[in-house]
């Protein structure tokens, strides 16, 4: 028995298919793995990597910048405002974004500007991590 998995952003469905396991990072609970028979679950996702392990295939890595995960009746639904498949991440653009975030951190004059720059750096780091596998 497998999970039915769907990862959706406002623009499109990034992943739809069967999988043996899904691993995601929640805001309050850290990483959580979903297998068949998992209890119903709804949680907020942190900026993090989602790993979908298809039956007999290689893991699909997805950069998810927040959102929600719902698990019910062996179906895993991930909804995110921004999500990117590993092979669709522009690595040069992510490196440039990280460099801009570092510059903003150095120039940050207040806590709000610093938090914004740190969040931008985390997003860029996530893209680079997911793109590198």
CA dist 133 and 125 (Å) reads: 12
Instruction: Tell me what percent of the chain is helix, strand and coil, each rounded to the nearest 5.
Output: 30, 45, 25
For the chain, give the mean pLDDT: 92
* pLDDT tier at 108, thresholds 50, 70, 90: confident
Q: Is the pLDDT of residue 29 over 80?
A: no
Domains of the chain: 3-86 (2.60.15.10), 89-132 (1.20.5)
Residues above pLDDT 70, as percent of the chain: 100
Helix (H, G, I), strand (E, B) or coil at 79: strand
pLDDT of res. 35: 96
């Amino acid at each position: 028995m497998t999970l039915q998995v769907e990862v959706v952003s406002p623009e499109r469905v990034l992943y739809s298919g069967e999988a043996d396991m899904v691993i995601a990072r929640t805001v309050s609970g850290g990483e959580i793995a979903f297998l068949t028979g998992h209890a119903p679950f709804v949680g907020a996702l942190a900026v993090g990597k989602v790993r979908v392990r298809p039956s007999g295939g290689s893991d699909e890595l997805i950069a998810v910048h927040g959102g929600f995960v719902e698990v019910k009746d062996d179906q895993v639904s991930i909804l995110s405002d921004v999500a990117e498949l590993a092979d669709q991440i522009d690595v040069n653009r992510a490196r440039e974004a990280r460099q801009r975030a570092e510059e903003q951190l150095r120039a940050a004059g207040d806590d709000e500007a610093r938090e914004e720059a740190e969040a931008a750096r985390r997003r860029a780091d996530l893209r680079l991590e997911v793109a590198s596998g």
